[in-house]
Structure 1
Amino acid sequence: MDPQKRKSLRLGTFTDLSKVEIGVFWNMAECPIPEGMDIDSVVANITKSLKAEGFNGRVEVYAYDVKSSQEPIYHNPRVIPDDLPSEDPDENLMILLSECLCWAVRTRAPANILLIVGDIEGHDEITRAFDLVTRKQYNCMLAQQVDSEVFHHFAVDKAWTWNTLLSGEPALYHSRLDHDTATSSSPSQGVSGTGTG
């Protein structure tokens, strides 16, 4: 696809994303809660990171983990726990992708999606799915354990490493269009107006 056409897909340039719903899909097996934190502090910092980028809508966190004999109990009303039926990371990634797409079907556009996983490098089906739902007015963001080239993919609007998201920091990378239009972006667009990616 021509780079200029890719740029035209950036949703935040023509749609107000600042107050729309945010679906967070979190693979807890690959991005676990670190020592010294709990589910509430993690969700609070995820929300803080999103707010730092101008996303102030209602946040729902779908937390997926490998099923164990002692299921954790989460009292945070914004957290919806679910099981990963497999220990195969590729299979689990496809499950989260499927959940993202199902959420997009039942959630009115525009809306924001944040996928939190170990690493999607080499999984082109993820970025293809991101491209597809972006065309339907669902803005796609990514957090993963490692910094990688996938952060610069045109279908990824904002990107964090898991550690920066845990710390409540702004995104490490922004879509290329954010960078190119930094001087004309407004806070109501749901973007920070700066870009490093």
Structure 2
Amino acid sequence: MYTPGAAKPEYARAKIAVWWDMKDCPIPEGYDARLVRPSIEAAFNELGYSGPISITGYGDQRETPCQILRGLSSTGVAVAQIIPESRCSLMYSSMLEWRDLNPPPATMMLVSDQWQHVFAWDLSRLQQHTKYNLFLAYSTEPFAGSALRPCGEWIWRNLLETKREFVQDKCSSSCEVSPMFYCKSCSYQGQSVEGFRRHVSSGKHAVKEVTNRIHPELDYLTRTWAKNYTAKPEYATAPIVVWWDMKDCPIPEGYDARQVRPSLEGAFKKLGYSGPVSITGCGDHNKTPDHILRELSSTGVDLAHSIDEVIYSRMFINMKQWKARNPPPATIMLISDGVVMMFENLIADLLQETKYNLFLAYSYRPYKMSVLLTSAEWLWKSLLVAGVFFSSPYHHHPLMTLFLSYIITLSVSETRNHVLRKCSQSQRGEPSTKMFSCMLCLCDCKSLEDLRTHLSSEDHAVCVSILLCIII
């Protein structure tokens, strides 16, 4: 086992459901099929789990010897008939049905080599939305990382062959689940090996398997989910923290930098969020004009200096440090093209571990849907324009709605720049007490002048040189 997942109190006696791909993870030759259930139960018992376990094996059972089927059914393992190419699809639809009927706390276990390439994308998004305990078993160790975060993992053969003193004794114990054989294509259910064998060998079954064919492609549930959701009660007044990559998503030419904060806050309020908002603008501030930095700072936006080579990693590190000090409920927002691209799996892992809301903004729409499950997404320039009007008391007027729909489709034109530059004194906010900082040297500066002094210092130059030597 690679990552042990000792049971938390709320999961210790909760239900456990196991979906077993018998093609990828078959019963080893000579292995007593009656030991499959007790081996799995014993592994969970060792981690402190004692809840009822249901196990279903999926595969072409015409190829499974009768003694294997009898051994499994004698211990309450259900067996499903499915052609090999559709087994993952049937397993996944069964998982979704089970999740609908069994809210957390509960535990899921997937036994398959396809967990990474077939199941991981949608399942990790589901786990970000509604967290279950999740365990994996597979025949060979995976080569690459995944967005799916399990509580524990086993090599299938090791799981079956681990010597536990009470496994043999549990073989003859009473079963928690009645044995069941079923065939989805024919809507067949039975409780005898003989009857099941007759069914899967019949001409009627052969016809139904073709006419009621189960499509091999998984029906990814979250692919059709909307992008922007109204705030759930627990997040409506919770803190919102924003990391803004000013390299990927710069302030458009001519745009009043003092409008960045009200634009974001206006967009949040439109979705029902009214919690305190902290914003950190990350970038190479040697390249950022002083008037931009002053305007941002005047509205309470933090400014963190970095260099292009490490800005994504520094933002991700800052996010992890913030997470350690700020438990949910809270909302994280990332404004960047590259952070998500480079750290997508790690961010998904974090969101499966802890229930944060996630907002994204980017300069262009990604070419494929991310594994990250978001509560809201925006195009950066549209967000800057729309937020100004959403924060206005007049934006509900029908004519304003029509105008807003039109203006969002435009690029940031000179005419619109002129309008947005007319920022009133009341929108500027009070002088900021926020810090300027250097993400490279891990130091804070109390003013723009202090930051400029630091960035021109020898100590900073040495720090940058060392960092560049490490990453190049």
TM-score w.r.t. structure 1 length?
A: 0.71
Give the Cα–Cα distance (whole angstroms) in 2 for the partners of residues 147 and 24 of structure 1. 19
Structure 2 residues without counterparts, runs of 5 or longer: 1-119, 131-228, 388-472
Residue 26 (str. 1) matches residue 237 (str. 2): no
TM-fit CA distance, 1:14: 7.4
Structure 1 or 2: more helix by fraction: 2
43, 46, 62: which one pairs with 2:264?
46
The corresponding residue for 2:362 is 144
Counterpart residue type for residue 129 of structure 2? R
Moved over 6 A (4+): 11-15
The Cα offsets for residues 150-187 of structure 1, whole Å up to 9 and x where unpaired, read as: 55434333211111211235xxxxxxxxxxxxxxxxxx
293, 302, 308: which one pairs with 1:87?
308
The corresponding residue for 1:193 is none
Superposed, which structure 2 residues align to 1:121-140 within 5 Å? 122-123=341-342, 125-140=343-358
TM-fit CA distance, 1:83: 0.3
Say whether the 8 Å CA contact 2:242–2:334 is kept in structure 1: yes
Say whether the 8 Å CA contact 1:131–1:155 is kept in structure 2: no
SS at match of 1:37: coil
Counterpart residue type for residue 81 of structure 1? L
306, 309, 319: which one pairs with 1:100?
319
TM-fit CA distance, 1:22: 0.2
SS at match of 1:68: coil
Structure 1 or 2: more strand by fraction: 1
RMSD of aligned alpha carbons: 2.7
75, 84, 88: which one pairs with 2:298?
75
Give the Cα–Cα distance (whole angstroms) in 1 for the partners of residues 298 and 232 of structure 2. 37
Aligned CA distance change for structure 1 residues 131 and 50 (closer, same or farther; 3 Å) = farther
Give the Cα–Cα distance (whole angstroms) in 2 for the partners of residues 135 and 50 of structure 1. 24
Give the Cα–Cα distance (whole angstroms) in 2 for the partners of residues 47 and 128 of structure 1. 27
Give the Cα–Cα distance (whole angstroms) in 1 for the partners of residues 246 and 121 of structure 2. 36
The Cα offsets for residues 83-116 of structure 1, whole Å up to 9 and x where unpaired, read as: 01x222xx21111111112111122321000001
The corresponding residue for 2:76 is none
SS at match of 1:23: strand
Q: Which has the higher contact order (CA 8 A, sep 6+)?
A: 1
TM-fit CA distance, 1:66: 0.2
TM-fit CA distance, 1:48: 1.1
Residue 116 (str. 1) matches residue 335 (str. 2): yes
Say whether the 8 Å CA contact 2:124–2:348 is kept in structure 1: no
The Cα offsets for residues 100-155 of structure 1, whole Å up to 9 and x where unpaired, read as: 121111223210000011345642x2343244135312211211111014554343
TM-fit CA distance, 1:36: 3.0
Give the Cα–Cα distance (whole angstroms) in 2 for the partners of residues 133 and 6 of structure 1. 9
Give the Cα–Cα distance (whole angstroms) in 1 for the partners of residues 124 and 253 of structure 2. 44
Aligned CA distance change for structure 1 residues 32 and 4 (closer, same or farther; 3 Å) = closer
The corresponding residue for 1:176 is none
The Cα offsets for residues 26-45 of structure 1, whole Å up to 9 and x where unpaired, read as: 01122111233233201111
Residue 156 (str. 1) matches residue 374 (str. 2): yes
TM-fit CA distance, 1:76: 1.6
Aligned CA distance change for structure 1 residues 164 and 127 (closer, same or farther; 3 Å) = farther
Aligned CA distance change for structure 1 residues 27 and 122 (closer, same or farther; 3 Å) = closer
111, 114, 128: which one pairs with 1:9?
128
- Max radius of gyration: which structure? 2
